[in-house]
Structure 1
Amino acid sequence: MAAIPPVCNFGEPAPDFELPATDGRRYRLGDLKGSKGTVVVFICNHCPYVKAIIDRLIRDAKDLAALGVTTIAICSNDAEAYPEDSFENMKRWAEEKGFPFKYLHDATQEVARAYGAVCTPDFFGYNADLELQYRGRLDESKREAAAPTARRELYEAMRQVAETGKGPQEQIPSMGCSIKWRHAA
Structure 2
Amino acid sequence: MAVTPPVCDFGAPIRDFTLPGTDGRSHSLAEVSGPNGTLVMFICNHCPYVQAVMDRITRDARDLQAAGIGVVAISANDVGDYPQDGPEQMALEAEKHGFSFPYLYDESQAVARDYSAECTPDFFGYNAAGELQYRGRLDASGRNPGPPDAKRELYEAMMQIAETGQGPRDQVPSMGCSIKWKAA
Q: State TM-score, norm by structure 1.
A: 0.98
1:161 equivalent in structure 2: 161
State the AA in 1 paired with 2:175.
M
2:97 equivalent in structure 1: 97
Structure 2 residue 42 is the aligned partner of structure 1 residue 28: no
Distance 2:26 2:151 in 1: 34
Gaps of 5+ in 2: none
* Residue 96 (structure 1) shift: 1.3
* Residue 175 (structure 1) shift: 0.1
Structure 2 residue 35 is the aligned partner of structure 1 residue 39: no
* Residue 12 (structure 1) shift: 0.4
RMSD across aligned C-alpha pairs, in angstroms? 0.5
1:79 equivalent in structure 2: 79
Distance 1:79 1:59 in 2: 27
Q: Secondary structure at the residue paired with 1:35? A: coil
State the AA in 2 paired with 1:14.
I
Deviations along 1:108-138, one digit per CA (max 9) or x if unpaired, are 0000000000000000000011110000000
Gaps of 5+ in 1: none
Distance 2:171 2:68 in 1: 22
1:173 equivalent in structure 2: 173
2:49 equivalent in structure 1: 49
State the AA in 1 paired with 2:130.
L
Distance 2:92 2:64 in 1: 24
1:148 equivalent in structure 2: 148
Q: Secondary structure at the residue paired with 2:169? A: coil
* Residue 70 (structure 1) shift: 1.4
2:65 equivalent in structure 1: 65
* Residue 178 (structure 1) shift: 0.2
* Residue 27 (structure 1) shift: 1.0
Distance 1:96 1:39 in 2: 21
Distance 2:66 2:31 in 1: 18
Q: How many residue pairs get matched?
A: 184
State the AA in 2 paired with 1:56.
R
Q: Structure 1 residue runs of 4+, over 3 Å off?
A: none
1:8 equivalent in structure 2: 8
* Residue 64 (structure 1) shift: 0.6
* Residue 66 (structure 1) shift: 1.3
Distance 2:20 2:157 in 1: 28
Percent sequence identity is 61
Q: State TM-score, norm by structure 2.
A: 0.99
